[in-house]
Amino acid sequence: MTMILLGIIGAVVVWFVAAYNRFVRLRNRAEEAWSDIDVQLKRRYDLIPNLVETVKGYAKHEKDVLEAVTAARAQATAITIDAATVTPEQMAQFAAVQEGLSGALSKLLAVAENYPDLKASANFLELQRELTDTENKIQAARRFYNSVVRDFNTAIEQFPGNLIAGMFHFVKRSFFEIDDAAQREAVKVKF
């Protein structure tokens, strides 16, 4: 009887440790995923001034578009988010600013279509390719972050994991999503 009792206690301890370690692993994956988003956003912020300067040389009268990109970049770099403590409202604000920057960049690239010499410039083409690649990586990083957050939040809500999560104060994380329906629509560029 003692062996059975010790076996049951041992199984419970093993389950408890495994459940706790799962939460730690998911939390760390969420932090890593957020860091991936940060890396790609930093790359985009670094590319934007180079792209703007390249376009400026060709499109001097497109001042409004260039200023909009510069302003959107400044606004986007002014917001910092701690993924571990971010509220849904902060995440929505952060997402909105990022989407505003993406929209401004789309307009800038559309302006470039009016300048054949610019479109043929090796510097511009490389910057455009890098920026497009970075935008794709940002989208992939957002999707990865959201999938990790989904797994983490599900583990926190499911029984009996919710007992462990509650004991060790694991809290749900916010998804990276857009709350403003207007930002989900395609950008319309008019000249």
How far, in Å, CA of 178 to CA of 190, rounded?
Answer: 24
CATH 2.60.40.3680 fits 19-184, yes or no: no
Q: What is the domain partition of the chain in residue ranges?
A: 19-184
pLDDT tens profile 49-70: 877 777 766 666 566 777 777 7
pLDDT tens profile 129-169: 888 888 888 889 889 999 999 999 999 999 988 999 999 99
Chain CA centroid to CA 14, Å = 35
138-147 b/e with 16+ CB inside 10 Å = b? beebbebbbe
Give the pTM.
0.63
Radius of gyration of the chain, Cα coordinates, nearest whole angstrom: 23
How far, in Å, CA of 84 to CA of 171, rounded?
Answer: 9
